[in-house]
Structure 1
Amino acid sequence: MVRFEPGTVPAGEAVTKMGGQPRWLEDPQWPLSASLGEPMQFIGQFRIDGGGEARLAYVFMTDGDDYVDGTWEPDGGENAVIVQPGGQVPPFVTVRAQAEGPAWPAADHLPVDFVVDAGREPWQFLGGEPRWLQGEETPGPGWRFVAQLTDSFGHNFGDAGIGYVFVSPDGDEGRFLWQCG
């Protein structure tokens, strides 16, 4: 289980955080829902280290008043992972140069402690290996697992769902998908 507490790191730092507004490392690239044409909801940003400068994977998902079909698919255009600096916008995602937008309704938060309940494995964590609900769905060979999120913070990942964040082998693109029980 991941414990969250209010963040104190200055804007512009490459930190992992949930909610609030993204701390863009380059020009803003806010993804738009393929079906609604509106900005997706920002869920969080995750630091992805390796090979030099710190990078961030920004995670977004369509969050309309009504259920939007396809938010679970890694390439359906209803969720997106934007990697900065130097990443590529996935080919199925349209972005807008917009610094702020709809966000997970919480103040900036930073994971600070990883606590496993006695005898129980966590369902929300960073790195390691994913715990799949319905079966393995890694986006492709060599894709690196970044984070696993529960829907306990108000995200709509279906019925008791789990979200999964990945980056490509070269670290330039990301994918997000979710499964439910």
Structure 2
Amino acid sequence: MRRPVRFEPSSGMTGMPVTKMGGQPVWLRAPQWPVSRSLGEPMTFIGQFRLDADGEVRMAYLFMTDGDEYVDGTWEPDGGENAVIVQPEGSVPAFLTVTDMSVGPSWPVEDHLPVAQQVPGDEEVWEFLGDEPVWLQGDQTPGPDWRLIGQLTDHLGHNFGDAGIGYVFVSADGTEGRFLWQCG
């Protein structure tokens, strides 16, 4: 089910395993902060998504390389310049390197929590949780039976190209995640 959302600043840091953008990750297990393949520096934390399954709290953490200089390949799902880390029972994909730091770079620095968004009439929804992706350039689902967790715009300042859209996926077995973005 598609749930249109917008993300608004919270009154403080949540510290809870909830869907949010910005702030710091609320790790369910030992921290697994991904490192940029090209820069060798920690990626920027974008947000986390709650993925409850069978009564168990599960989280997907989204990161992307973001620096003062342009980094090629942040749009690729397995290029080592973005990451979706799944906890508690997820596995780190072979193309990623992680470190055990629990706090690192984040954009925006405060928590932004999802707020239900009403969409009038036939207006196209570009930012939502769940359902099927609305592709800008054609289907790039990472694999068979992967499910969309969220589709994001770059309105919070993330660089998804020119008017880009980011797509967060989790594998059918819920152990791995992928992120990619497309722009017009």
Normalising by structure 2, report the TM-score. 0.93
Tell whether the 8 Å contact from 2:62 to 2:85 is kept in structure 1 after alignment.
Answer: yes
Counterpart of 1:3 in structure 2: which amino acid? Answer: R
Matched, 1:125 2:128: yes
Matched, 1:41 2:37: no
Matched, 1:70 2:77: no
Aligned to 2:143: 140
Large movers: runs of 4+ above 4 Å: 7-10
Tell whether the 8 Å contact from 2:108 to 2:156 is kept in structure 1 after alignment.
Answer: no
1:152 aligns to what SS in structure 2?
Answer: coil
1: CA distance, partners of 2:57 / 2:118: 25
Deviations, residues 78-126 of structure 1 (Å, cap 9, x unaligned): 0000001111011101000000100012411210213214430210110
Tell whether the 8 Å contact from 2:13 to 2:111 is kept in structure 1 after alignment.
Answer: no
Aligned pairs, how many? 180
1: CA distance, partners of 2:14 / 2:157: 26
Matched, 1:58 2:87: no
Tell whether the 8 Å contact from 1:43 to 1:104 is kept in structure 2 after alignment.
Answer: yes
Normalising by structure 1, report the TM-score. 0.94
1:165 aligns to what SS in structure 2?
Answer: strand
Matched, 1:158 2:158: no
Are residues 9 and 35 of structure 1, via their aligned partners in 2, closer, same or farther at CA, if it must alter by over 3 Å? closer
Aligned to 1:110: 113
1: CA distance, partners of 2:43 / 2:13: 25
After superposition, the CA RMSD in angstroms is 1.4
1: CA distance, partners of 2:70 / 2:170: 26
2: CA distance, partners of 1:131 / 1:50: 25
2: CA distance, partners of 1:41 / 1:117: 34
Unmatched runs of 5 consecutive residues or more in structure 1 = none
1:153 aligns to what SS in structure 2?
Answer: coil
1: CA distance, partners of 2:6 / 2:154: 15
1: CA distance, partners of 2:101 / 2:73: 24
Tell whether the 8 Å contact from 2:17 to 2:50 is kept in structure 1 after alignment.
Answer: yes
Unmatched runs of 5 consecutive residues or more in structure 2 = none
2: CA distance, partners of 1:3 / 1:139: 25
